[in-house]
Structure 1
Amino acid sequence: MSDHTTLVVGASRGLGRGIAAAFAQAGAPVVAVARTASALAELAAATSGIEPHVADAADAAAPGMLIERYQPRNVIVVAGATPPVRPLHQHTWETFSVNWNCDVRIAFHWLREALRRPLPPGSRVIVVSSGAALKGSPLSGGYAGAKATERFITGYAQGESERAGLGIAFTAVLPQLTPATDLGLSAARAYAERAGQSMEEYLQQLGDPLTPQGAGEALVKLARAEAAGLAPAYRLTSVGLQPLP
């Protein structure tokens, strides 16, 4: 993958960090994008082949500028906000809509710019959504709906790529809840308490956890797969990717 420059948007923590490291270890030049300079510097120091770039992924100007500068063949969008964890009636509209105003906004701008540039034929755009898009997330406000919308608009982008003959493959990936990230750990604690279970009991129900390293390895495999065989979306668990219709 030495000629496949990969932009990882939201690379400073959690699954994004693991994905950036996995692509670099696979030989791809990686541009790690996030707002936190110290976390990016730490990532770049720990893994060769990673160039940190501090930027706000939600800035409408960022996708065009970064795509123009780095000319990536892979764009992976992982960035998003951590939702406030509370039941529906304890949300305000502002807290309920956090992920609509952040996660969906980020995905929209990056998908739009990938089509408008456009990226070169053969490029891959992977939007990391959430398994909550399939089953809901009653303690996370609008999170599940926002993540479902990320999946929808990734599919819309694939349709536009096909209509225009751009040769860009757009794919959504929906990871399972995992205590290996700060977001997942916070959610797991809240759902365990809601169910009257200990953390150990609740996590046992989830099975083997998805790790950032495992997520990264799965996405490298996805980026290497033949475009003709790609599903529009995938569920991602500790055992790997499972295609969704």
Structure 2
Amino acid sequence: MSDLSGRTTIVVGASRGLGHGIATAFAEAGAPVVAVSRTAAEFPEPANGAGTIQLEVADAGDPTVVGSLIDRHEPQAVILVAGASPHLRPLQQHTWETFSANWQTDVRIAFHWLREALLTPLRPGSRVVVVSSGAALAGSPLTGGYAGAKATQRFITGYAQDEARRAGLDLTFTAVLPRMTPLTDLGRSAAKAYAARNGQSEEEYLQQMGPLLTPQIAGAAVVELVQADAASIAPGYLLTGAGLQKLA
């Protein structure tokens, strides 16, 4: 996978934020990209006539859509970034519906795509990257079930790798857990809410987070991960403004 030319990459949740940065980075690395999102999005023209970006407006949580997109495009890399924006409020102010929103969306999307990758299966040598969240490690008390949903995404990515190994499939699954960044809509809202909860200004809160993760850094990191030798890929990574860090 070191050469992405001609290797179709599906990026699910590509319309904004980290997903947009990841889709753009793969196209610039030479890959034909299928950018899946619920809404239309615009992308810069890849430099030097490198890869391409084809937009697919679709519900990534619909299992019939998942199977159709994989059958039609035959990807050799699938990057799952899509998810619901959680409601930012203390536990007692959640309803069950707001608390469970990320289980119904984020986990469902990961489940359907991981399942289809194994059942189809994807071509030998293919890679699947599930973009979870650093909240899976640290918790997230203002987002209801978000942290638990993101931890479950990480768990089922590991389950998929085990099943691929048991079936003798040459597929690599890994989870990437990005740290909160104010350079996405979700991160910006969360930083504001947590700063207020801690009695800090947003600037004070963000200063303690270290180098900020940008969509461009995320894109470069995931491209590097997909291009790496499969034997060197860990089950999970923390992603910060400083890049990828293997998780134990």
Matching of residues 16-27 of structure 1 within 5 Å: 16-27=19-30
Structure 1: 5+ residue stretches without partners = none
Per the TM alignment, residue 3 of structure 1 is displaced from its structure 2 partner at its CA by 2.1
Deviations along 1:169-227, whole A, 9 cap, x unmatched? 00000000000100000000000000000011001011111000000000000000000
1:244 partner amino acid: L
Q: Percent identity?
A: 69
Deviations along 1:9-64, whole A, 9 cap, x unmatched? 00000000000000000000000000102x2xx12x54461011111111111111
Matching of residues 146-225 of structure 1 within 5 Å: 146-225=149-228
How far apart in 1 are the matches of 2:234 and 2:30? 25
Report the aligned-residue RMSD. 0.8
Per the TM alignment, residue 80 of structure 1 is displaced from its structure 2 partner at its CA by 0.1
Q: TM-score, normalised by structure 2?
A: 0.96
Residue of structure 1 aligned with 2:144, choices 132, 141, 146 = 141
How far apart in 1 are the matches of 2:173 and 2:145? 24
Structure 2: 5+ residue stretches without partners = none
How far apart in 2 are the matches of 1:208 and 1:160? 36
Matching of residues 1-245 of structure 1 within 5 Å: 1-37=4-40, 39=41, 42-43=42-43, 46-47=45-46, 49-245=52-248
1:29 partner amino acid: P
Q: Secondary structure at the match of 1:61?
A: helix
Per the TM alignment, residue 6 of structure 1 is displaced from its structure 2 partner at its CA by 0.2
1:14 partner amino acid: G
The count of aligned residue pairs is: 241
How far apart in 1 are the matches of 2:134 and 2:45? 29
Moved more, 100-109 or 56-65: 56-65
How far apart in 2 are the matches of 1:169 and 1:208? 29
How far apart in 2 are the matches of 1:79 and 1:128? 8
